[in-house]
Structure 1
Amino acid sequence: MVRDVARQVADRVRAGFGLRLSTMEPVTSGADEHARLWRAQATDGARYAVKLSGGGTPAGLVVTAYLAEQGVPGIVAPLRTDDGHLSIDQDGRRLTVVPWISDQRALDGPMTPAHWHAYGEVLAAVHEVPVTDELSRLLPVGGAAYPAIVTATRAMAERMRDPADLADPLVADLAGVWSAVADRLGVLTGEVERRAVDTRDRSGPHVVCHGDPHLGNLLLGADGQVWLIDWDDAVLAPPECDLMFVRGGVLAFAPITAAQQRAVFAGYGRTDVDPVRLAWFLAVRALDDLSDWTRQALDVEAAAADRARAARIVRGLVSPLGLVTLADAAVRDLDRRC
């Protein structure tokens, strides 16, 4: 079955993009459960990321094509089909081809000071591009989904208070995790709702944001070069929507150090980060990650390894260095400032 899908995709790539693929190797490191990704090699030796996306919109493709046209560094433009489109429909899903630029993910390291500096430069260049009418139509507003995220978090909290299958060790473990952070989640959900209007009404530009620029979406090259990939979550938002991954410390499963932050902002060139917007975006992301990864861990139809991985991520999110803890600290710091 897997080989059949790969063969069908290769045939579609040949017909639509004019590329003859000799090999297609599945890549399973991503977190998008609606997508399938292959590292493909063409008969001429060139390598490509071939992706079949089942969720979201094509906005990310439009954004990367536009950013590349604007000369933004660290952006890999998608290939266009023979008739000029950015994707092909494959049984209701988007089939895209992008040059495979590097095998080295920043998440696997090592990140040099030059890489951190270049990462800041890329974010700054992205935030500075003019917002076109097309992007205004295509891109959602960052954080606009917060009511659904709050609802999903409260529903999951209710479910985990009395889970149906405590005989499952994984379920029992997750129930304990949610019980231990119940008070913190109550604070975060309340703060997300309470500060939503304040965050929206605060002065400042809405710019093109990647929306998910953690180290898993950053590739490394020689001489400090970096590439920011996977733009499926691109939004129009205040810069804090992206900068929370630096100032808020959520770039990876370990906090970013002070020296690394300095290197990023030396490349970014600005330090006027609004603490209210930063804390709000952190809290929204924390709730979304916690509820969604818990949902995946509870999915009895999923493979045992996938469920176990999701459960590990949930435990990491509520650890002393995890995103829930960081968001809770940022929100509480706002109260201390008042």
Structure 2
Amino acid sequence: MRKLQGWVLEDFGLDVVELSPVGHGADVAAQVWRAATAINTYAVKWSGAGTNTGHQVAAWLGDSGVPGVPELVRTMEGGLWSFHGKKRLTITPWIDGVRAAETGLTTEQWTQYGVLLRRVHSSEPPERLRQALPRHSPVDARVPPLAEQLQTRLTTQAPEDDVEAELAAVWKEHQDTITRLLIRPPEPSGRRVVCHADPHLGNVLVDGQVHLIDWDDVVLAPPEQDLMFMLGGMGSLGPTTPEQLKAFFTGYGDIELDQDAVTYYRHTRALEDAALWAEQAITGPDREECVDILRGVLGVGGLAQLALS
């Protein structure tokens, strides 16, 4: 903790008097703390996930006055982050709100969220920033070979413990689904916009206003990359009733959805979730919970079956 406080003071000029870890989030490559100075409170994130470009886009959106996108605190040298141990240290003002994944959104808040995501998709970043944006999530290239490795381990090797035995049973039960997920549909070729790429309710905070956080994975992609999360298969992390979906699109506005693009991004996310939750069920943390999440991804009503339907 003292080392982190030293980094924050040296890099950002903030004299932290209280530092508390924040346990939310599925990203094992990131750690988040609530940091209090004598006058303000901040969210401090130390992460090896995503790309630098995501923070640049978030900063540009925040500086452009897009409500609901947290502004980044600058370093003493005017940068958006500092590096320690090959990970980025970033700071944003602390949002003293509730996590939407735990409380849900009201009808009005779903509409506010639709307005926010439409503003992100309608934004026009400077050309140099647009050109720097990745077209795919950094995770995309890693997932197919990881899934193949898991396939070999979970179907041909003896499990190392009871949790892995349960994981292998789930994997084998849904073998046909996993095999079909490994065959990707054609990538969509439609217009590309700034996409958050992970806008489920686990990344939404509400304090009277709706805030979208965790901009590590920003990509330049068709809007269906983000809208897929609103169209079913995400359980309580997306709209769960027709009324909620209607409220979201009341705010987002009219769009002619490319169903092939929706299928592609559902398919890509389903394979990513299957592989990454299975991997974490082996390596930890929260191994048993990861098996349960994987069961939901692959089971009836889950994203995998929706993507393949």
- TM-score range relative to shorter protein: over 0.9
Task: Name which of 206, 212, 222 aligns with 1:228.
Answer: 212
Matching residue of 1:284: 268
CA offsets per residue over residues 161-205 of structure 1, 9 Å max, x none?
123326x22112111111111112222322x1xx32xx333xx31
> Alignment partner of 2:236: what SS?
coil
- For structure 1, which runs of at least 5 residues remain unmatched after alignment? 1-5, 330-338
Alignment of 1:10-159 (within 5 A): 10-44=5-39, 46-142=40-136, 146=140, 148-159=142-153
> Alignment partner of 2:182: what SS?
helix
Q: Taking structure 1 as reference, are residues 161 and 149 closer, same or farther at Cα in structure 2, changes over 3 Å only?
A: same
Matching residue of 1:312: 292
Q: Taking structure 1 as reference, are residues 315 and 65 closer, same or farther at Cα in structure 2, changes over 3 Å only?
A: same
Matching residue of 1:256: 240
Matched, 1:178 2:171: yes
CA offsets per residue over residues 97-117 of structure 1, 9 Å max, x none?
100113310001141111100
RMSD: 1.9
Task: Name which of 184, 188, 193 aligns with 1:200.
Answer: 188
Matching residue of 2:305: 325
TM superposition score normalised by structure 2? 0.93
CA offsets per residue over residues 221-240 of structure 1, 9 Å max, x none?
22xx2000000011000000
Q: C-alpha displacement at 1:81, in angstroms?
A: 1.2
Task: Name which of 3, 16, 23 aligns with 1:8.
Answer: 3
Q: Which amino acid aligns with 2:248?
A: V
Q: C-alpha displacement at 1:220, in angstroms?
A: 0.8
Q: C-alpha displacement at 1:83, in angstroms?
A: 1.6
Matching residue of 1:332: none
> Alignment partner of 2:299: what SS?
coil
Bigger drift between 69-78 and 157-166 goes to 157-166
Q: C-alpha displacement at 1:120, in angstroms?
A: 0.6
TM superposition score normalised by structure 1? 0.86
Matching residue of 2:181: 188
Distance across 2 between alignment mates of 1:92 and 1:181: 37
Bigger drift between 230-239 and 317-326 goes to 317-326
CA offsets per residue over residues 127-164 of structure 1, 9 Å max, x none?
00114223234321036864543332233223211233
Structure in which a larger fraction of residues adopt helix: 1
Matching residue of 1:333: none
CA offsets per residue over residues 10-46 of structure 1, 9 Å max, x none?
11211222211111110111111111110111111x2
Q: Which amino acid aligns with 2:6?
A: D
Q: C-alpha displacement at 1:255, in angstroms?
A: 6.0
Q: Which amino acid aligns with 1:151?
A: P
Q: Which amino acid aligns with 1:212?
A: D
Q: C-alpha displacement at 1:323, in angstroms?
A: 1.9
Q: Taking structure 1 as reference, are residues 160 and 12 closer, same or farther at Cα in structure 2, changes over 3 Å only?
A: same
Q: Which amino acid aligns with 2:94?
A: W
Matching residue of 1:218: 204
- Preserved CA contact (<8 Å) 2:101 2:237: no
Distance across 2 between alignment mates of 1:212 and 1:132: 22
Matched, 1:209 2:189: no
Distance across 1 between alignment mates of 2:18 and 2:289: 28
- Preserved CA contact (<8 Å) 1:139 1:235: yes
> Alignment partner of 2:150: what SS?
helix
Q: Which amino acid aligns with 1:48?
A: Y
Distance across 1 between alignment mates of 2:13 and 2:221: 37
> Alignment partner of 1:291: what SS?
helix
Q: Using the aligned pairs only, state the percent identity.
A: 39
Distance across 2 between alignment mates of 1:29 and 1:101: 14
Q: Which amino acid aligns with 1:207?
A: V
> Alignment partner of 1:252: what SS?
helix
- Preserved CA contact (<8 Å) 1:59 1:139: yes
Q: Taking structure 1 as reference, are residues 16 and 311 closer, same or farther at Cα in structure 2, changes over 3 Å only?
A: same
